Amino acid sequence: MPKAIRIRNISEETYQRLRDQAADAGMSVPEYLKQTAERVAGRPTLGEWIERTRTRGDAVRSSDPLALLDEVRGPWPTSDS
- Give residue 34's domain range: 12-73
Torsion, Cα 47 48 53 57, to 10 degrees, reads 120
What pLDDT sits at residue 44?
A: 92
Using alpha carbons, list the distances in angstroms from residue 73 to 15, 41, 67, 77.
Answer: 44, 37, 10, 11
Using alpha carbons, list the distances in angstroms from residue 58 to 44, 48, 55, 64.
Answer: 19, 17, 9, 12
What pLDDT sits at residue 78?
A: 74
Residues 6+ apart with CB under 8 A from 76: 70
**Does 81 map to a domain?**
no
**Does 27 map to a domain?**
yes
* Mean per-residue pLDDT over the chain, rounded: 87
pTM of the model: 0.60
**Does 6 map to a domain?**
no
**Does 78 map to a domain?**
no
**Does 41 map to a domain?**
yes
**Domains identified in the chain, total number:** 1
**Does 1 map to a domain?**
no
Query: Sorting pLDDT into bands at 50, 70 and 90, what band is 74?
Result: confident
What pLDDT sits at residue 62?
A: 63
